[in-house]
A and B are shown apart, each in its own frame.
Chain A
Amino acid sequence: MKEEIISAEHLAFRYQGMDGAPDVTVFENLNLAIEEGSFTAVLGTNGCGKSTLAKHFNSILLPTGGKVYVCGLDTSDPDRLMAVRRNVGMVFQNPDNQIVANVVEEDVAFGPENLGIASPEIRRRVDVALKQVGMYEYREHAPHLLSGGQKQRIAIAGVIAMEPKCIVLDEPTAMLDPQGRRDVIDTVKRLNKEKGITVVLITHHMDEAAQADRVVVLDKGTVAADGTPREVFSQVKLLHDMGLAAPESVELCWAMDQLGYDLPLTMLEPKECAQVLYDWLKA
């Protein structure tokens, strides 16, 4: 049984309404555990609470009720704040607004420098991190001249240079073009598979979520679905009711099923879908 690296227990969160508007309740009683070494995608439409949830994982937001534990540490304990943030790194949506320095390697060094690590060790970590995200040749470049996908990879390098156990990415590809999105998701998958870093990916892109080991669907602050991508995406009606869609192959088979045919809803990739359709047509 793998250790739980992040766990939300009876999580409740409410924020105050502005200018006399009523308070908005985001979570009432959310329970969720993330296993060490896993790649979990958190899916949902805007307003379902997924970003709010992500911010609880490293104490940017604190619960108004219930608890969130990271590596056994209580996120609401002010004495544990640095320890929590050392263990859970966070990558945000806007590539530009995470970069602190004028030179790539100096930005990646920012985290380790804050931790008071000795200079030669920082150098080592920066080089390793940049190589892991495939941006080592750009180490002396100016970040603002890079593409969005490259900037996000620098941001990821800046986080892994701190050697966290887990990375939480809050819609990291929302502002990127298709190539950039591919690069970022590939990088993240590789870090998870090769380095064993736990990854929590917040997204509203189905094709990205399909690459995770586990998909958690949030709807209005509650867990509406939780399972492997195949398990979750086959619940097409549920997804539609929440304003989401399944990957195109699943949607196609579902549309056929609506007409009375009987096709499975578990093929997420074009190749496997084609194979199943081929067999079905030949039958």
Chain B
Amino acid sequence: MLKDITLGQFFPGTSPIHRMDPRTKLILTIVYIVALFLANNWFSYLLMMVFLVSCIKISGIPPKSIVRGMKPLVFILIFTAVLNLFYSEGGVVLVRIGSLAITTAGLKRAFFMIWRILMLISGTFLLTYTTSPISLTDGLETLMNPLKKIRVPVHELAMMMSIALRMIPTLIEETDKIMNAQKARGADFESGSIIDRAKALVPILVPLFISAFRRADELATAMECRCYQGGEGRTKMKLLRFSRVDIQAFLVCACLVAGVITLASFGL
């Protein structure tokens, strides 16, 4: 049952976007987000949209997956839309409900806000769908390396992240097993009040935490036996290297930002 959770799922592939260095993707995702917030009119939004759709097409990721990933966020989207609908000033009043009013300005704002959020989420999905968790952490670690000079434990953080990612499927499997074992003794996770259901989680959480600690201990011992001593003197099998695809990507994004700024300044 729990196997259906796709936490930042990775779809392997060979598209140019897959082949990009993870550092490029991380940096450009931030650039993309900045560009999204710089956009403020129809033309700039359309430019971003064209960019996004082309990226999705190039990556080969089925659009359905992106849409499916948004399902859990529907509630937030509706909430944001409603907020913007009612709380915007200016424009013609269309509907009045008590002291709240829906205005054309509100309508426009809500529309653009939703559009922007959708593009934001899609862009981030594209990052996680085309980059394996290990590459992401490698990329993050390399980018954050300069922070080592101010005593930020970059390597340790990256190691924590990659081990956590590696353990997620194992722990999910274990949770499933524990749930089945407790259900076989009559545990009921579906019925009863909120308090009942919270209490029913104890027979799952306690064994799970204990198991997690035990795993951590054993894994740490195994790592030490393989001469792990932290980040000092550690090399990597896979070295991150910029290639032509990355340079092309940087150029395209530079043009994108320039385009957005230009279109935004037309005040349309």
Query: A residues touching B (Cβ–Cβ < 8 Å)?
Result: 58, 60, 82, 85-86, 89-90, 92, 94, 96-103, 105-106, 109-119, 122-123, 126, 142-144, 155, 158-159, 162
Choose one: A96, A103, A111, A113; the contact of B236 (CB below 8 Å): A113
**Shortest distance from the beta carbon of A161 to any chain B beta carbon, whole Å:** 9
A102-B132 contact given A58-B225, A60-B225, A144-B169, CB 8 Å threshold? yes
Contact (Cβ within 8 A) B235 A119: yes
A114-B227 contact given A102-B133, A144-B170, CB 8 Å threshold? yes
**Shortest distance from the beta carbon of B30 to any chain A beta carbon, whole Å:** 24
Closest to A94 in B: B218
In the bound assembly, the distance between CA atoms of A106 and B239 in angstroms comes to 12
Contact (Cβ within 8 A) B223 A100: yes
Enumerate chain B residues within 8 angstroms of A99, measured Cβ to Cβ: 166
Enumerate chain B residues within 8 angstroms of A105, measured Cβ to Cβ: 237
Enumerate chain A residues within 8 angstroms of B214, measured Cβ to Cβ: 97
Enumerate chain B residues within 8 angstroms of A144, measured Cβ to Cβ: 166, 169-170, 173
In the bound assembly, the distance between CA atoms of A112 and B237 in angstroms comes to 9
Choose one: A98, A103, A155; the contact of B132 (CB below 8 Å): A103
A103-B134 contact given A111-B227, A119-B236, A162-B226, CB 8 Å threshold? yes
In the bound assembly, the distance between CA atoms of A1 and B118 in angstroms comes to 74
In the bound assembly, the distance between CA atoms of A98 and B236 in angstroms comes to 19
In the bound assembly, the distance between CA atoms of A32 and B258 in angstroms comes to 74
Contact (Cβ within 8 A) B222 A92: yes
Knowing that A89-B225, A126-B237 touch, tell me 17 more A-B residue pairs with CB under 8 angstroms: A85-B224, A97-B214, A97-B222, A99-B166, A101-B162, A102-B162, A106-B134, A112-B235, A113-B235, A116-B234, A119-B235, A119-B236, A122-B235, A122-B237, A144-B166, A155-B222, A158-B226
**Shortest distance from the beta carbon of B140 to any chain A beta carbon, whole Å:** 15
Contact (Cβ within 8 A) A117 B227: no
Provide a sorted-by-A list of 9 A–B residue pairs whose CB atoms are within 8 angstroms: A90-B225, A99-B166, A101-B162, A102-B162, A102-B166, A113-B237, A117-B235, A144-B166, A144-B170
**Shortest distance from the beta carbon of A96 to any chain B beta carbon, whole Å:** 5
Choose one: A85, A94, A106; the contact of B237 (CB below 8 Å): A106
Q: B94: CB under 8 A from chain A?
A: no
Query: B residues touching A (Cβ–Cβ < 8 Å)?
Result: 132-134, 162-163, 165-166, 169-170, 173, 214-215, 218-219, 221-229, 233-239
Enumerate chain A residues within 8 angstroms of B173, measured Cβ to Cβ: 144
Q: How many A-B residue pairs have CB under 8 A?
A: 97
Contact (Cβ within 8 A) A111 B132: no
Enumerate chain B residues within 8 angstroms of A112, measured Cβ to Cβ: 235, 237
Choose one: B132, B165, B166, B226; the contact of A114 (CB below 8 Å): B226
Name the residue among A97, A101, A123, A143 with the largest chain B CB count within 10 angstroms: A97
Name the residue among B162, B165, B214, B235 with the largest chain A CB count within 10 angstroms: B235
Enumerate chain A residues within 8 angstroms of B132, measured Cβ to Cβ: 102-103
Contact (Cβ within 8 A) A96 B222: no
Contact (Cβ within 8 A) A114 B234: yes
Contact (Cβ within 8 A) A101 B134: yes
Enumerate chain A residues within 8 angstroms of B218, measured Cβ to Cβ: 92, 94, 97-98
In the bound assembly, the distance between CA atoms of A162 and B235 in angstroms comes to 14
A116-B233 contact given A97-B222, A102-B133, A102-B134, CB 8 Å threshold? yes
**Shortest distance from the beta carbon of A26 to any chain B beta carbon, whole Å:** 18
Choose one: A60, A85, A155; the contact of B227 (CB below 8 Å): A85
Contact (Cβ within 8 A) B166 A100: yes
Choose one: A60, A94, A106, A114; the contact of B228 (CB below 8 Å): A114
Contact (Cβ within 8 A) B134 A114: no
Enumerate chain B residues within 8 angstroms of A115, measured Cβ to Cβ: 227
Name the residue among A60, A105, A113, A155 with the largest chain B CB count within 10 angstroms: A113
Contact (Cβ within 8 A) A162 B227: yes
A97-B219 contact given A117-B235, A119-B239, CB 8 Å threshold? yes
**Shortest distance from the beta carbon of A102 to any chain B beta carbon, whole Å:** 5
Would you list the 3 A-B pairs with minimal beta carbon distance, nearest first? A97-B218, A109-B237, A111-B226
**Shortest distance from the beta carbon of B101 to any chain A beta carbon, whole Å:** 52
In the bound assembly, the distance between CA atoms of A109 and B235 in angstroms comes to 10
Contact (Cβ within 8 A) A100 B134: no
In the bound assembly, the distance between CA atoms of A126 and B219 in angstroms comes to 20
Enumerate chain A residues within 8 angstroms of B229, measured Cβ to Cβ: 82, 114
Contact (Cβ within 8 A) A113 B234: yes
**Shortest distance from the beta carbon of B32 to any chain A beta carbon, whole Å:** 26
In the bound assembly, the distance between CA atoms of A100 and B227 in angstroms comes to 13
**Shortest distance from the beta carbon of A172 to any chain B beta carbon, whole Å:** 12
Contact (Cβ within 8 A) B238 A106: yes
In the bound assembly, the distance between CA atoms of A109 and B228 in angstroms comes to 12
**Shortest distance from the beta carbon of A253 to any chain B beta carbon, whole Å:** 41
In the bound assembly, the distance between CA atoms of A103 and B135 in angstroms comes to 11
In the bound assembly, the distance between CA atoms of A155 and B221 in angstroms comes to 13
